[in-house]
C-alpha cells in the first residue's frame, strides 16, 4: 500500500501563534483515517491545511498525483464535506451536486443530471433532488454534502465531523456509507470526528492531537490505542474520562 | 485532438445487435460515451457488452445505467466493473417514499398568497405591538432594556456615517444652488439663492437624503445582522434564556437611530447650506456673509424643527422595518439576502410616502 496523503513537519497556526508543530503522518490508499483530539486542539484547522484552504507556517502536505493541494486549476482530486455541509442555499440538492460536474466535465446537461441523481441515490436521497437545503434535515444535508463531494469520483474524501448533531441511526447510516465507499470505490477517507462509536466501527488508523502538546500524542488503530495505551490523555479520550476541565 | 480511452463497436449475431465497449471508461470520456449509448438505444441495440472494459468510475456507472435506462441489457461486467454497477443499480434511493410536490392551481396560489398576506400583516402588527410594550417597559424601568451596546450602535449609525452624510448633503446643496442660480440670475434675484437652498435643504432634502443614506447603511446592516442571527438560531437561543429579542435587539437599534438621525440631519442641514454658499460665491459673486445673512432671514426655527421631526419619524421607520425584516428571515443565506433587499426597498418606499404625508400635514397646519 502506498501513501495517498503525506504530511511532513507541518506547523500550522493562526497569525504567529502555532497550534500544531512538526506534525508528520501518512494516510494509505483505501483506508479510513481519523484525526482525533479534544476541542480546540486544531483538528479542523489541520483538515483545512490538508485540503489547501490554509497555507502552513512550515512543512508541507503532499497528495499523491497532485502535490500540494490547490484549487481551481484542474478538477479536484478530492472531495470535502464541511462541518455545516456548506450546501448552497439558493440551489436544490440536485443543483448542488451538478455544480462540480458542470464546471469540470463536458457532459451534456441531461447526462450531468443523470450522474448527479445517481450520486444522490447512492446516499439515499431519491425524491429530495428538488428540495432546497433549508427544506431537508441535518442528516440529509450531510448526505447531500457527501454526494456533492463524490460528484467527480475523487480518490480521497475529507469529512469534517460528518456525524455531528445527527441521531444515532442517521450517524450509523453515514458510517455504512463511508464503508461502502471504501469497499466499492476504494475511496480513501480522512475524517475529523468525536463520535467514539463511529471511530471504532469505521476507522482503520488515527492520530490523536493534543492542544497542550501542540502535536500528535498517539497514532494507530483506535481500538488498539484504547486497549493498550498507557498515556492518561489517550485513556481519558477513549474512555470518556473527565480531565478536570471541559476542553 | 481528443481521443477517447475506449472503443465501441456494434456486433450483430442471430439478429441481436450488441454494443461492445473496450478500454478504460472514466468521466473524462463521459460525453462521447453518453452520445453513443443514447444513439445505440434509439437504433435498437439490445445488449451493451462490457467484457473488454478494464475499469470504470462511479460517474460512468451512473451514465451507463441512466443512458440504457433498463431498456438495454448490460452484460459481461466482472470484478470491479460489476461491483460498481451493482452499487449504483442497487442504491436504495431513500428511506421513505419520494416526496412529490403537487403543482398548485392559480386559484389555490391566489388563496394561499392572500392567507400568507393576512398572516404577515398579523405578524407585523404583533411586532409593532411588542415594540410598543417594550417602549412602555423602557419608560417605566429603563434598566429592563439591553443598552450595553447602545453607544456602539449610535457610533456605527452616527459617527461612522458622518463623512458620507457630509459629502452627499454638500453635493445636494451645490446641485440645488447651481440649478437655482441659473434661473434666479435671469430675474436679477441672485440673493434669493439662500432662500431656495436653505428652505429646500432644511425642510425636505437633508432629512430625506440623510434618512436614505442611513437606510442603506444601517437599515441594510440591521436586516442582515438580525437575519443571520435568526437563521443561526441565535434569536431562538435568546428566547430560550428568557430574553425578549424585541427588548434585547430591536429597541436599542430603533432608539439609537432615533437619537442619531436627527443629529445627522442637523449636520446635513449645515452642510447642504454650505454647498449652496459655495455655488453662490463662485457663480453669483455673493459673499458667504451676505449668503448666510439672507439665509438667517429666510429660514425660521420652525423650518428646522419640521425637518427634525420628520427625521425622528424616518429613523423609527428605518429601525422598525429593518429589524422586522431581519427577524422574519427564513431559509439560510438566501433568506438573509431576501430580507435585506426587502428591508431596503420597503424603507425607501416608506420614507418617500411618510415624507409626503408629513409635508401635507405641515402645509395644512401652516407649520
CB contact, 8 Å: B93 with chain A?
Answer: yes
Chain A hits for B93, CB-CB cut-off 8 Å, are: 121, 124, 126-127
Average pLDDT over residues B209-226: 96
Check residue A69 and give its pLDDT.
67
Which among A114, A126, A131 is the nearest to B62, CB-wise?
A: A114
ipTM of the prediction greater than 0.90, yes or no: no
CA-based nearest residue to B218, from B343, B335, B124, B351: B343
User: How far away is chain B from the Cα of A101, in angstroms, using its nearest Cα?
Assistant: 9
Model pLDDT, residue B200:
95
Calpha distance B203→A237 (Å, rounded) = 70
Rounded to a whole number of angstroms, the distance from the CA of B58 to the nearest CA of chain A is: 6
Q: What is the mean pLDDT of residues B22-34?
A: 88
Identify which of B28, B34, B59 has the shortest CB distance to residue A108: B34
Three-state SS sequence of B76-130: CCCHHHHHHHHHHHCCCCECCCCCCCCCCCHHHHHHHHHHHHHHHHHHHHHHHHH
Choose from B2, B27, B81 for mutation: most chain A CBs within 10 A.
Answer: B27
User: Cβ of B66 and A115 within 8 Å?
Assistant: yes
Nearest-CA distance B67 → chain A (Å):
8
* Nearest-angstrom CA–CA distance, A115 and B33: 13
Q: What is the per-residue burial (b if ≥16 Cβ within 10 Å, else e) of B143-176?
A: eebebeebeebbebbbeebeeebbebbbebbbbb
Q: What is the pTM of this model?
A: 0.68
Euclidean distance between CA atoms B146 and B144, whole angstroms: 7
User: A97 and A124 in contact (C-beta within 8 Å)?
Assistant: no
pLDDT tens for each residue of chain A, 247 residues long: 678 899 999 999 877 788 899 999 999 998 999 999 888 888 988 998 888 878 888 888 887 766 666 666 677 788 889 888 888 877 899 999 998 898 888 899 999 999 999 999 988 888 999 998 888 988 888 889 999 999 998 889 999 888 877 778 878 888 888 888 888 878 899 999 888 888 999 999 999 998 888 999 999 999 998 888 888 888 888 887 776 544 4
Q: What is the pLDDT of residue A148?
A: 92
Write the DSSP string, chain A: --EEEEEEEEEEEETTEEEEEEEEEEEETT-EEEEEESTTSSHHHHHHHHTTSS--SEEEEEETTTBS---SSS--SEEEE-TT----TTS-HHHHHHHHHHHH----HHHHHHHHHHHHHHTTBTT-TT--GGGS-HHHHHHHHHHHHTTT--SEEEEESTTTT--HHHHHHHHHHHHHHHHHH--EEEEE---HHHHHHH-SEEEEEETTTTEEEEEE-HHHHHHH---HHHHHHHTT---SS--
Taking the C-alpha atoms of residue A78 and residue A84, their distance in angstroms, rounded to an integer, is 18
Compute the average pLDDT of residues B322-330: 92
pLDDT confidence of residue B178: 93
Q: Which of B34, B35, B333 sits opposite A89 (nearest CB)?
A: B333
**CA-CA distance, A160 to A140, in Å (whole number)?**
15
The partner residues of A207 in beta bridges, in order of sequence, read: A35, A219
Chain A (112-131) residues lying within 8 Å, Cβ to Cβ, of chain B: 114-115, 117-119, 121-122, 124-128, 130-131
Task: Provide the pLDDT for residue B145.
Answer: 65
Of B84, B94, B332, the CB nearest to A184: B84
Determine the Cα angle at B339 with ends B354 and A166, to 5°.
155
Percentage of chain B lying above the pLDDT 90 cut: 45
Provide, as residue numbers in chain B, all residues whose Cβ is less than 8 Å from the Cβ of A152.
27, 59
Q: Give the C-alpha separation, A204 to B318, whole Å.
A: 58
pLDDT of residue B91: 66
Report residue A104 as a C-alpha cell.
469540470
A&B contacts, CB < 8 Å: 105
Beta partners for residue A210, in sequence order: A215
Output A160 or B260, whichever has higher pLDDT.
Answer: B260
Q: Around Cβ A99, how many Cβ atoms within 10 Å?
A: 17
Q: What is the pLDDT of residue A220?
A: 92
Q: What is the pLDDT of residue A3?
A: 85
- The whole-angstrom distance between A246's CA and the closest CA on chain B is 22
Q: Residue B94 above 80 pLDDT?
A: no
Dump pLDDT digits (tens) for B132-184: 887 887 788 776 666 667 888 999 999 999 999 999 999 999 999 999 998 89
Instruction: Tell me the CA end-to-end span of chain A in Å, nearest whole number.
Output: 36
Does B292 contact A at CB distance below 8 Å? no
Confidence of residue B98 (pLDDT cuts 50, 70, 90): very low
State the sign of the Cα–Cα–Cα–Cα dihedral B256, B259, B260, B262. positive
Cβ of residue B39 closer than 8 Å to a chain A Cβ: no
Closest CB from B58, B63, B83 relative to A114: B63
**Residue among A89, A111, A127 minimizing CB distance to B30:** A111
The pLDDT of residue A91 is 85
Q: Which residues of A touch B87 (CB under 8 A)?
A: 122, 180, 184-185
| pLDDT tens track for B262-317 | 999 999 999 999 999 999 999 989 999 999 999 999 999 999 999 999 999 999 99
* Cβ within 8 Å, pair A111-B31: yes
* B chain contacts of residue A151, beta-carbon cutoff 8 Å: 59
Amino acid at each position: 500500500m502506498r501513501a495517498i496523503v503525506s504530511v511532513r513537519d507541518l506547523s500550522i497556526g493562526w497569525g504567529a501563534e502555532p497550534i500544531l508543530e512538526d506534525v508528520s503522518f501518512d494516510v494509505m490508499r483505501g483506508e479510513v483515517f481519523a484525526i482525533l483530539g479534544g476541542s480546540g486542539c486544531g483538528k479542523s484547522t489541520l483538515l483545512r491545511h490538508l485540503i489547501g484552504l490554509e497555507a502552513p507556517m512550515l512543512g508541507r502536505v503532499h497528495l499523491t498525483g497532485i502535490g500540494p493541494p490547490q484549487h481551481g486549476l484542474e478538477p479536484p482530486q478530492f472531495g470535502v464535506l464541511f462541518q455545516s455541509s456548506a450546501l448552497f442555499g439558493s440551489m436544490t440538492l440536485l443543483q448542488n451536486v451538478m455544480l462540480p460536474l458542470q464546471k469540470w466535465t463536458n457532459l451534456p446537461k441531461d447526462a450531468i443530471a443523470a450522474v448527479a441523481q445517481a450520486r444522490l441515490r447512492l446516499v439515499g436521497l431519491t425524491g429530495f433532488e428538488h428540495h432546497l437545503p433549508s427544506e431537508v434535515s441535518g442528516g440529509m444535508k450531510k448526505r447531500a454534502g457527501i454526494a456533492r463531494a463524490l460528484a467527480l469520483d475523487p480518490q480521497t474524501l475529507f469529512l469534517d465531523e460528518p456525524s455531528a448533531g445527527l441521531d444515532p441511526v442517521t450517524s450509523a447510516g453515514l458510517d455504512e456509507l463511508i464503508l461502502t465507499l471504501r469497499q466499492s470505490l476504494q475511496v480513501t477517507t480522512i475524517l475529523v470526528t468525536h463520535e467514539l462509536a463511529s471511530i471504532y466501527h469505521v476507522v482503520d488508523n488515527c492520530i490523536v492531537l493534543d492542544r497542550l502538546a501542540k502535536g500528535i500524542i498517539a497514532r494507530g488503530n483506535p481500538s488498539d490505542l484504547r486497549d493498550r495505551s498507557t498515556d492518561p490523555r489517550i485513556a481519558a479520550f477513549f474512555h470518556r474520562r473527565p480531565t478536570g476541565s471541559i476542553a | 485532438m481528443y481521443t477517447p480511452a475506449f472503443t465501441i463497436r456494434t456486433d450483430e449475431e442471430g439478429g441481436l445487435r450488441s454494443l461492445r465497449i473496450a478500454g478504460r471508461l472514466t468521466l473524462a470520456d463521459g460525453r462521447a460515451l453518453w452520445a453513443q449509448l443514447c444513439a445505440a438505444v434509439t437504433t435498437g441495440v439490445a445488449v451493451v457488452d462490457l467484457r473488454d472494459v478494464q475499469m470504470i468510475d462511479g460517474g460512468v456507472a451512473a451514465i451507463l445505467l441512466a443512458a440504457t435506462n433498463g431498456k438495454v441489457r448490460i452484460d459481461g461486467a466482472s470484478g470491479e466493473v460489476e461491483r460498481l454497477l451493482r452499487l449504483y443499480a442497487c442504491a436504495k434511493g431513500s428511506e421513505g417514499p419520494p416526496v412529490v410536490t403537487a403543482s398548485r392551481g392559480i386559484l389555490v396560489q391566489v388563496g394561499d398568497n392572500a392567507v400568507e398576506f393576512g398572516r404577515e400583516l398579523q405578524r407585523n402588527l404583533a411586532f409593532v405591538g411588542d415594540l410598543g410594550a417594550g417602549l412602555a417597559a423602557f419608560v417605566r424601568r429603563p434598566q429592563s432594556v439591553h443598552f450595553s451596546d447602545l453607544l456602539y450602535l449610535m457610533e456605527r449609525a452616527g459617527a461612522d456615517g458622518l463623512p458620507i452624510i457630509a459629502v452627499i448633503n454638500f453635493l445636494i446643496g451645490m446641485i440645488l444652488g447651481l440649478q437655482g442660480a441659473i434661473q434666479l440670475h435671469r430675474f436679477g434675484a441672485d440673493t434669493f439663492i439662500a432662500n431656495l437652498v436653505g428652505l429646500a435643504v432644511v425642510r425636505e432634502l437633508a432629512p430625506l437624503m440623510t434618512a436614505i443614506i442611513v437606510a442603506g447603511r444601517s437599515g441594510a446592516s440591521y436586516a442582515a445582522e438580525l437575519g443571520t442571527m435568526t437563521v443561526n438560531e441565535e434569536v431562538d437561543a435568546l428566547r430560550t434564556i428568557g430574553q425578549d429579542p424585541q427588548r434585547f435587539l430591536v429597541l436599542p437599534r430603533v432608539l439609537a437611530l432615533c437619537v442619531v438621525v436627527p443629529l445627522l440631519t442637523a449636520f446635513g442641514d449645515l452642510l447642504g447650506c454650505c454647498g449652496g454658499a459655495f455655488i453662490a460665491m463662485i457663480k453669483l459673486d455673493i459673499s458667504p456673509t451676505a449668503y448666510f445673512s439672507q439665509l438667517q432671514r429666510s429660514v425660521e426655527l420652525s423650518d428646522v424643527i419640521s425637518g427634525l421631526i420628520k427625521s425622528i419619524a424616518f429613523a423609527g421607520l428605518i429601525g422598525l422595518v429593518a429589524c422586522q425584516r431581519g427577524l422574519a428571515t427564513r431559509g439560510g443565506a438566501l433568506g438573509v439576502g431576501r430580507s435585506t433587499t426587502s428591508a431596503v426597498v420597503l424603507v425607501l418606499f416608506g420614507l418617500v410616502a411618510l415624507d409626503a404625508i408629513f409635508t401635507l400635514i405641515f402645509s395644512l397646519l401652516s407649520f
